[in-house]
Amino acid sequence: MQRYQWLLFDADGTLFDFERAEGTALEQAFGLIGVTFDPGYLATYQRLNQALWQAVERGEITPGVVKIKRFELLLQAIGVDSSAAALSANYLECLAACSELIEDASEVLQALQEKYRIAILTNGLQVVQRGRLARSVIHDHIADIIISEEIGFAKPAKEFFDVALARLGHPSLREVLMIGDGWTSDIQGAVQYGIDACWYNPARKPRPTTPEITREIASLRELIEWLE
């Protein structure tokens, strides 16, 4: 008997190839403000951006703050005198146009949607997440997308999952599976809420000892073998 009714996927690094898109969008954004892009800028940006999103997960700042702050810090770090707001706007526009997927994501979702309803739960920004989903081949497989910037809460907060489950019609927690690559935001958030969690771990990082999870996969295609 089929256990799950809903499969909840993280977006960045789980369905969308965010690392690849991030580098492309950043280079394009610098070009639009007339600044020559140095490949080293990407590593600096990723370090600053990651720290800010970790602060979002801790509830210390909102996703909206990240939009500009990360570019203020980046421009300061690389010694470039330019508008953080302009760079941010260009970056978000370019990133929204980058809809490259993780390997097998489209085929896996197409197979799974025959038996399950699928939603995306993301801590990303509205203009990026909705823009690239609209351009993506997986658009028709997704029943809903819940975005932290839109609802005012971010994973792993209980309130984020409260809103998400309400949007999906209050399914039984036993009928829901969260799938994501983020240990804190996706996995811990889901388990603490009472939802089964599947950790997508393509890099095969060491698994933390807590919390206990339902499954670990290194390839999205493993979901078909397991859930079908």
Shared domain for 68 and 144, answered yes or no, is no
Identity of the amino acid at 205 = K
Shared domain for 136 and 105, answered yes or no, is yes
The residue whose two tokens read 């950043």 is 26
* Each residue's pLDDT tens digit, 90-110: 999 999 999 899 999 999 999
Name the domain boundary from 96, 117, 143.
96
Classify residue 203: in a domain, yes or no: yes
Shared domain for 195 and 108, answered yes or no, is yes
CA atoms within 13 A on the CB side of 216: 14
Shared domain for 65 and 130, answered yes or no, is no
Classify residue 90: in a domain, yes or no: yes
CA-based nearest residue to 29, from 69, 61, 71: 71
* Each residue's pLDDT tens digit, 119-157: 999 998 999 999 999 999 999 999 999 999 999 999 999
Identity of the amino acid at 120 = I
Query: Which CATH number do you get for residue 215?
Result: 3.40.50.1000
Name the domain boundary from 96, 113, 138.
96
* Structural domain boundaries, residue 185: 6-16+100-227
Dihedral angle computed from the Cα positions of residues 215, 154, 72 and 93, in that order, rounded to the nearest 10 degrees: 80
Shared domain for 116 and 201, answered yes or no, is yes
Shared domain for 43 and 88, answered yes or no, is yes
* Each residue's pLDDT tens digit, 166-200: 999 999 999 999 999 999 999 999 999 999 999 99
Shared domain for 10 and 50, answered yes or no, is no
The residue whose two tokens read 């197409």 is 110
Shared domain for 123 and 53, answered yes or no, is no
Residue range 13-27: average pLDDT? 93
Shared domain for 89 and 187, answered yes or no, is no
Classify residue 1: in a domain, yes or no: no
* Each residue's pLDDT tens digit, 43-94: 999 999 999 999 999 999 999 899 999 999 999 999 999 999 999 999 999 9
Classify residue 25: in a domain, yes or no: yes
Shared domain for 44 and 126, answered yes or no, is no
Classify residue 115: in a domain, yes or no: yes
Cα(211)–Cα(191) distance, integer angstroms: 7
Largest CA distance in the chain: 61
pTM of the model: 0.91
Classify residue 85: in a domain, yes or no: yes
Shared domain for 189 and 209, answered yes or no, is yes
Shared domain for 85 and 167, answered yes or no, is no
Residue range 10-36: average pLDDT? 94
Query: Which CATH number do you get for residue 90?
Result: 1.10.150.240
| Total domains in the fold of the chain | 2
140 belongs to the catalytic site: no
| Res 2 pLDDT > 70 | no
